């Protein structure tokens, strides 16, 4: 009876279409389980549903191939280089939004409004509590020192996060220095690069190495996973800096596609992601650093301490990606 009454009301024009008729189609580099809390909260607040497609590789190429027929409204990415690649592929559009500009600092969004950072994370050191003294790791440059021979673990050198770190090294010191540094880092590895950041903490727990490079938020995920908590408990976080610089940061971000069939709803979601509710979810659920000023980090993240972010512009780091990837391949970092 309720459905019949609803149909009759529609026929008579007495009520508008329900809000949940709206939707936003998202291509995401981020795992769906990391987006689900945000999708659920957004739908509960607005009635707008999110259709999320996990696209791990070739997102820019896919959007180019789909052209104006693409169903995607937004792309969510996990790295500044991927954001830049998608923009340079010509498949995004600039967004003029006073809400986004008010919520996101200028350093964490594109000057031409093509992309917007939503969270930040630091690329830091997991150090063994038993075998590495506090303060023993202070700079990224120090990771190439022979004193670390056989003591470092790392995921693949061609992983986006490590390529971005090497890109920042290029931005600070130039390609020749960065290549020598990467060779020194490889020489200090205790095992062949494998797995993700959490696997490096596990390797430290297992005694396979003493330090590893990882993103901050993975520590939060391990602490809250009963099977992985022991890995997190075995390490402490150290915030290294570049010589004459700060701690390397990267961002997750969003951009609207040029085709965007649901532009109004997509813009609403973008603005919502930059607001208090979503930024708090990012902080408490994903253990990332909110980009909106005034939104507190989670208590766990606060317990790790503070650091000074590197001053190198993120777009400069992104532009160094091709050179960084070439270096990693030339030295066969993963070999």
Could you give the CA distance from residue 214 to residue 302 in angstroms, rounded to a whole number? 17
Torsion of CA 133, 134, 135, 139, to 10 degrees: 80
Residue 77 phi/psi, 5° resolution? -125, 170
Q: Is 146 exposed, middle or buried (0-12, 13-18, 19+ CB in 10 A)?
A: exposed
Answering whether pTM is above 0.75, one says: yes
Contact in structure between 128 and 285 (CB atoms under 8 Å): no
pLDDT digits (tens, 9 = 90+) for 202-236: 999 999 999 999 999 999 999 999 999 999 999 99
45 is written with which tokens? Answer: 């607040």
pLDDT digits (tens, 9 = 90+) for 261-305: 999 999 999 999 999 999 999 999 999 999 999 999 999 999 999
pLDDT of residue 3: 31
Q: Quick check: 255 pLDDT over 50?
A: yes
Q: Classify domain 2-120+249-303 by CATH architecture.
A: 3-Layer(aba) Sandwich (3.40)
The HSE-up count of residue 271 (CA atoms within 13 Å, CB side) is 14
CA-only gyration radius of the chain, Å: 22
The DSSP symbol for 57 reads S
pLDDT of residue 17: 30
pLDDT of residue 33: 78
Contact in structure between 201 and 222 (CB atoms under 8 Å): yes
Could you give the CA distance from residue 260 to residue 93 in angstroms, rounded to a whole number? 9
Confidence of residue 20 (pLDDT cuts 50, 70, 90): very low
Strand-pair partners of 124? 214
With helix as H, strand as E and coil as C, how does 274-330 read? CCHHHHHHHHHHCCCEECCCCCCCCHHHHHCCCCCECCCCHHHHHHCHHHHHHHHHH
Could you give the CA distance from residue 248 to residue 239 in angstroms, rounded to a whole number? 9
Confidence of residue 31 (pLDDT cuts 50, 70, 90): confident
pLDDT of residue 34: 79
Q: Classify domain 121-248+306-330 by CATH architecture.
A: 3-Layer(aba) Sandwich (3.40)
Could you give the CA distance from residue 254 to residue 109 in angstroms, rounded to a whole number? 10
Residues of the chain with CATH 3.40.190.10: 2-120+249-303, 121-248+306-330
C-alpha distance from residue 256 to each of 88, 140, 239, 266 (Å): 13, 35, 33, 8
Q: What is the rounded average pLDDT of the residues 27-56?
A: 91
Residue 43 phi/psi, 5° resolution? -65, -40
Q: Quick check: 32 pLDDT over 70?
A: yes
Confidence of residue 251 (pLDDT cuts 50, 70, 90): very high
pLDDT digits (tens, 9 = 90+) for 73-120: 999 998 898 899 999 999 999 999 999 999 999 999 999 999 999 999
185 is written with which tokens? Answer: 């880092």
pLDDT digits (tens, 9 = 90+) for 58-76: 999 999 999 999 999 999 9
Q: Quick check: 1 pLDDT over 80?
A: no
Measure CA of the first residue to CA of the last residue in the chain; give whole Å.
Answer: 67
Residues 285, 226, 239, 166, CA torsion sign: negative
Strand-pair partners of 75? 27, 255
The DSSP symbol for 261 reads T
């Amino acid at each position: 009876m309720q459905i019949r009454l609803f149909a009759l009301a529609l026929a008579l024009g007495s009520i508008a279409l329900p809000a949940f008729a709206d939707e936003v189609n998202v291509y995401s580099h981020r795992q769906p389980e990391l987006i689900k809390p945000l999708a659920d909260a957004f739908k509960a607040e607005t009635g707008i549903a999110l259709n999320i497609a996990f696209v791990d590789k070739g997102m820019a190429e896919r959007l180019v191939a789909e052209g104006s027929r693409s169903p995607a409204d937004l792309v969510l990415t996990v790295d500044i280089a991927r954001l830049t690649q998608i923009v340079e592929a010509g498949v995004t559009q600039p967004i003029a939004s006073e809400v986004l500009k008010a919520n996101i600092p200028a350093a964490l969004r594109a000057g031409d409004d093509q992309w917007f950072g939503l969270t930040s994370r630091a690329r830091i050191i997991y150090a063994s509590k038993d075998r590495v003294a506090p303060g023993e790791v202070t700079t990224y440059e120090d990771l190439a020192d022979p004193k670390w021979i056989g003591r470092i673990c790392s995921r693949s050198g061609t992983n986006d996060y490590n390529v971005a770190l090497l890109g920042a090294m290029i931005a600070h010191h130039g390609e020749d220095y960065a290549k020598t540094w990467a060779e020194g880092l490889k020489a200090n590895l205790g095992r062949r690069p494998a797995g993700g950041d959490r696997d490096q903490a596990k390797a430290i727990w297992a005694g396979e190495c003493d330090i590893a490079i990882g993103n901050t938020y993975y520590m939060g995920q391990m602490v809250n996973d009963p099977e992985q908590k022991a890995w997190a408990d075995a390490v402490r976080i150290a915030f290294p800096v570049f010589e004459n610089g700060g701690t390397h940061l990267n961002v997750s971000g969003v951009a609207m596609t040029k085709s965007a069939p649901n532009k109004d709803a997509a813009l609403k979601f973008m603005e919502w992601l930059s607001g208090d509710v979503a930024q708090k979810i990012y902080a408490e659920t994903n253990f990332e650093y909110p980009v909106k000023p005034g939104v507190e980090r989670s208590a766990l993240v606060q317990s790790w301490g503070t650091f000074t972010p590197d001053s190198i512009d993120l777009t400069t780091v992104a532009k160094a990606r091709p050179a960084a990837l070439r270096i990693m391949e030339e030295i066969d970092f993963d070999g």
